[in-house]
Amino acid sequence: MALPALLLPALFSAIPGLAGLLGGDPNKKLRKQANQLLGSQGQLTNQLYQQLISSPAFSQAQGAIAGGANQASNQLAQNLGARGIGTSGTGAILSSLTPSLVGSQIGQLRAGVFGEAQNQAQNQIEQQLKLLLKTQGPSPAQQGFAEGLNAFAPYLKQYLSAKFPNVFPASK
């Protein structure tokens, strides 16, 4: 049995879609872009961290820590002097704790800022991934294949209805 005259063009319209489907992984580019985004998290975190520690708010927080440490040191010296132990070994030990306290608070401040930079980086990357996934639709090859199938379907139905009328009854 010869193929209907319009069946051949319909088959040819499906060929580009088939070639695209057989030609490779349509998600390869998407995975590559997602991996690039995820791989940039450390760099983005460091960039955001540098921005945050350069901010006026960070400088202000450091100043507040230093001011609080000075005030605590002065109060400690006054209280030790009032008790007569300002020049004793106990006074020397207690006075030397102030720089340690400042270092600890600055360390906590920096750790908090780094945690904030990590959160911001993760949020930015998550938003970029969401946008990347939204832009993904059918590839040109998939679109061509679907159009070819749509064009070919009526001819296939007609052929199968003629060849197997009990299985594929002709539609009216």
pLDDT of residue 120: 94
Query: pLDDT of 47-99, one tens digit each?
Result: 999 999 999 999 899 888 888 877 777 787 777 777 777 667 776 666 677 77
pLDDT of residue 110: 92
- The rounded radius of gyration (Å) of the Cα atoms in the chain is 36
pTM comes to 0.54
Start-to-end CA distance of the chain, whole Å, equals: 23
What stretches of the chain show up as alpha helix (H) in DSSP? Answer: 7-22, 28-39, 41-53, 56-82, 89-134, 140-163
Mean pLDDT of 6-30: 58
Query: pLDDT of 102-156, one tens digit each?
Result: 888 889 999 999 999 999 999 999 888 888 877 666 777 777 888 888 888 888 8
